Amino acid sequence: MTSAGETATDPAGSAAAGRPAHPRPGSGPGAAYVGAAGVTFLACVVLALLALTVSALIAIWPPSPGAVTTPSHVLGLQLVLGRDQRLFIIVALAGGLGGLIHSGRSLYEYTGNRILRRSWLLMYLSLPFIGSALAVVFYVILRGGLITGSSVQVNFFGFAAVAALVGLFSPEAMEKLKQVFSTILAPAQPGEDHLPAAGPHGAAAGGAAPAAGEGGAAPAPESTAPPVTGTIEPQVG
């Protein structure tokens, strides 16, 4: 039996198996729920970034091929960009837009269910930047090996759509990259403090939370099945 000040670890002898002991869900930093002020501030940040990203995407979008190229004005700055430069920026903005949509959708869902925890705030703020960078990586991979031709022949709408989907589904995009390159590269050895295969909250690998994917939802109830006699000793709680 553990005292009130101790940190409960994973069941079934993780130390004996050589795996690091993980804290019980809800015992780490940021376990408290986000208050009304925090939700309001985060919602304002997400909405402001959404509006800024959409306006910048419209301003950077290139004119039709027959039109005269004009400078783009973003936040009072005049930018003179070539088509390749515009394509890079559009891909990055579209990836960030997808990440912002993911953050906003998850934010209102977990706030509506009153289960938004502080430990997920970093994810909400970093997901747009992760989606933007990941979209650029996908764009470079596609242009480098799958799609040929100059920027004049490239469909901006197609790349913007792919970039937005990569930002919106960044965990799935990372998993697809992992599946593709695991056949070429040797698998890396897990670190000492890596997450277990199902994650600390019983989620999929990579730290995604159940159902919608994040937000600190309550963990699934523990199994009530009796322990197997003679194989694993019953855990003393």
Residue 2's pLDDT is what? 46
Burial 132-160 (b: 16+ CB within 10 A, else e): bbbbbebbeeebeeeeeeeeeebebeebb
Check residues 148 and 56 and name the one with the higher pLDDT: 56
Using the predicted structure, report yes or no on whether residue 237 has a pLDDT greater than 90.
no
For 57, the token pair is 């995407």
Task: Kindly compute the dihedral angle of the four CA atoms of residues 175, 178, 183, 185, in this order, to the nearest 10 degrees.
Answer: -170
Tokens of 214: 């994040």
Instruction: Return the pLDDT at 208.
Output: 40
Give the phi and the psi of residue 131 in degrees, each rounded to 5: -60, -40
Provide the 10 A C-beta neighbour count for residue 7: 11
Under the banding of pLDDT at 50, 70 and 90, the label for residue 128 is very high
Mean pLDDT is highest, among 13-27, 69-83, 201-215, for 69-83
Residue 165 has pLDDT above 70, yes or no: yes
- Is residue 20 pLDDT above 60, yes or no? no
Give mean pLDDT, residues 215-232.
Answer: 44
Per cent of the chain over pLDDT 70 is 61
* Residue carrying the six token digits 């130390």: 15
Mean pLDDT of 6-15: 46
Secondary structure (DSSP) of 108-121: HHHHHTT--BGGGH
Which among 128, 123, 133, 124 has a CA at the least distance from the CA of 206? 123
Look at residues 202, 200, 194 and name the one whose alpha carbon lies nearest to residue 223: 202
Res 195: pLDDT? 64
